[in-house]
Structure 1
Amino acid sequence: MGGLTGLVEHYGYLGLAVLVLVEGLGVPAPGETAIILAAGLAGHGRLNVIAIGVVAFTAAVTGDSIGYWIGRRGGRRLVLRFGHYVRLTEPRLAKMERFMTRRGPIVVAVARFVEGLRQLNGVVAGATGMRWRRFLAFNALGAALWVGAWTTGGYLVGDHIRMIRAALGRYEWYAVAALVVALAGWLLLHRVLRRR
């Protein structure tokens, strides 16, 4: 946290842009934390909160777009070549492709709020063949909501940012587990109703 604070404090908007952009490429960088910290600095008058929103939004959409093209150009081949290490076989990839065809836009918009999915969002969408315009529209929607939420939150909490981030970190996996259970329940219910 201290190194990240130093990076954002020292480089300002550039440090923020790099961290958010790199995260969109599939690298587990702390883009979300960078937005919160930069917005906290804006709360103290050291940065401009509107500029933070614009920079973070642009970096998020650009990073995911690059990730999309990486997935589009070589992602499927790489998944088929190395996917067996994480139990991602060709039949499972085919299921994922069908799911992304039906529900892809919602996944792209919501994935921005889920750690792990946020980093692979663009690569998976590209590898599964989602249309570029559709990906771009829903990725921009998700990025706008995500950047808006964390920029506003970071700006409003100011000095209490470290305490709040630590508290969020303790409960993040519970929220992810609850989301997975809710999604699985919804899919099961949808399947049962469809069979009837």
Structure 2
Amino acid sequence: MTWLVDLIHEFGFGIVFLNVLIEQLGAPIPAYPVLVVTGALEGANLTRLLALVAIAVVAALIADIVWYRAGRAYGHAVLGRICRISLSPDACIRQTESVYGRWGPKSLLIAKFVPGFASIASALAGTVGTPLSTFVLFDTLGALIWVGSAVFLGSLFSSTVQDLLDVLTALGKWGLLLVAVAFVFFLARKWWRRTRTLRSLRMPRLSVQELAGMNAQGVFPTVIDVRDASQYQRARIPRSQLWRDISRQSELAHEPLLPHEKHAHGLVVYCDCPHEISAARIAKQLQRAGFTNVRPLVGGLEAWRAAGFEVEADELSETRSVSPGTLGPLIP
């Protein structure tokens, strides 16, 4: 264990740069503890503490701009890949969309404190066309707050952190094994949570070709969109209803859909999440409310558009989407 502490002493800044960069790119390797430890080891050396903060912020900004560019170039498809890399629950996409839709770039100020939010928020900023200058401003401020808090805590509790390192050093190989076991447990817990969520939402699904075929035959199931309202306005499957509008009409979210007999051809629920996780959750909720014929749409709106089927959009959204310098490429 002594060699690891010596390594942090010798190459602490380089380790911090790589750790922050890799974590912000999506890998489930937490950088905050390393920032705290490195801040503690630097102690009261203000110059080195400021250099540490600057290096970590630059690393975070590089990674975030990569995801911003990816979101701008490839749209919503990027978000699912981030979840798979980070082992975060796929539902984090919908949560991020909700927060970013409400607060916009200001949400980047606290993004790095929320597990599964930072990388997705960066990609989402590119997807919805947030101007690069605005993104860089708020992302830099958010990185400063995140890194600064870790370094401050480390310097504030430097003696406590040093005592902990001394204990781990005294344990020798056992101390290193303890750190390794903690890291493996962290990864295993994230993987298990993700796997358990996906298993709990297994149910029959409907393909976009099947839905289009039903429509072509004059059979129109009730189609429910569970995405954010802004995404619904920009593009949606024809005749679909926004779940948020439905659920707000009554204390019981499903009550406006009653009676069950209104939906002779069933209900189809869609989103743009990997594995249709948000749609499956609402579908399960509707099943518990007595709706027997309800299925998530495989691939959601992205699959519908990729198959070349028609989409609807509000006129204002269509106008804004082609205005230079406003929202950029709008890919829900």
Q: Which TM-score applies when normalising by structure 1?
A: 0.64
Query: Does the 8 Å contact 2:82/2:120 carry over to 1?
Result: no
Instruction: Sort the Cα spacing of 1:40 and 1:101 in 2 relative to 1 into closer, same or farther, 3 A.
Output: same
- Identity among equivalent positions (%) equals 29
Q: Using the alignment, how far apart are the partners of 1:3 and 1:128 within structure 2?
A: 46
Query: Does the 8 Å contact 2:43/2:155 carry over to 1?
Result: yes
The answer for the alignment partner of 1:57 in structure 2 is 57
Q: CA deviation at 1:88?
A: 8.8
Q: CA deviation at 1:6?
A: 6.6
Q: Using the alignment, how far apart are the partners of 2:92 and 2:33 within structure 1?
A: 30
Query: SS at 1:13's partner residue?
Result: helix
The answer for the alignment partner of 1:131 in structure 2 is 131
Matched pairs, number: 161
Query: Does the 8 Å contact 1:24/1:67 carry over to 2?
Result: no
Query: SS at 1:29's partner residue?
Result: coil
The unaligned stretches of length 5 or more in structure 1 are 170-190
Question: What letter corresponds to residue 147 of structure 1 in structure 2?
Answer: V
Instruction: Sort the Cα spacing of 1:155 and 1:102 in 2 relative to 1 into closer, same or farther, 3 A.
Output: same
- The structure whose residues are more often helix, as a share, is 1
Q: CA deviation at 1:157?
A: 0.6
Instruction: Sort the Cα spacing of 1:7 and 1:101 in 2 relative to 1 into closer, same or farther, 3 A.
Output: farther
The answer for the alignment partner of 1:20 in structure 2 is 20
For residues 148-173 of structure 1, the C-alpha deviation after alignment (integer angstroms, 9 at most, x for no partner) is 1111111111132386xx9xx9xxxx
For residues 117-150 of structure 1, the C-alpha deviation after alignment (integer angstroms, 9 at most, x for no partner) is 1343322322333222211111111111111111
Query: Does the 8 Å contact 1:79/1:88 carry over to 2?
Result: no
Q: CA deviation at 1:58?
A: 1.4
CA RMSD of aligned residues (A): 3.8
Instruction: Sort the Cα spacing of 1:121 and 1:82 in 2 relative to 1 into closer, same or farther, 3 A.
Output: closer
Query: Does the 8 Å contact 1:112/1:146 carry over to 2?
Result: yes
Taking the TM superposition and a 5 Å limit, the aligned residue runs for 1:1-196 are: 8-43=8-43, 48-79=48-79, 86=90, 96=97, 100-161=100-161
Q: CA deviation at 1:9?
A: 3.7
The unaligned stretches of length 5 or more in structure 2 are 84-88, 165-181, 187-247, 250-332
Q: CA deviation at 1:41?
A: 1.0
Q: Which TM-score applies when normalising by structure 2?
A: 0.40
Q: Which has the higher contact order (CA 8 A, sep 6+)?
A: 1
Q: CA deviation at 1:77?
A: 3.1
Q: Using the alignment, how far apart are the partners of 2:28 and 2:82 within structure 1?
A: 19
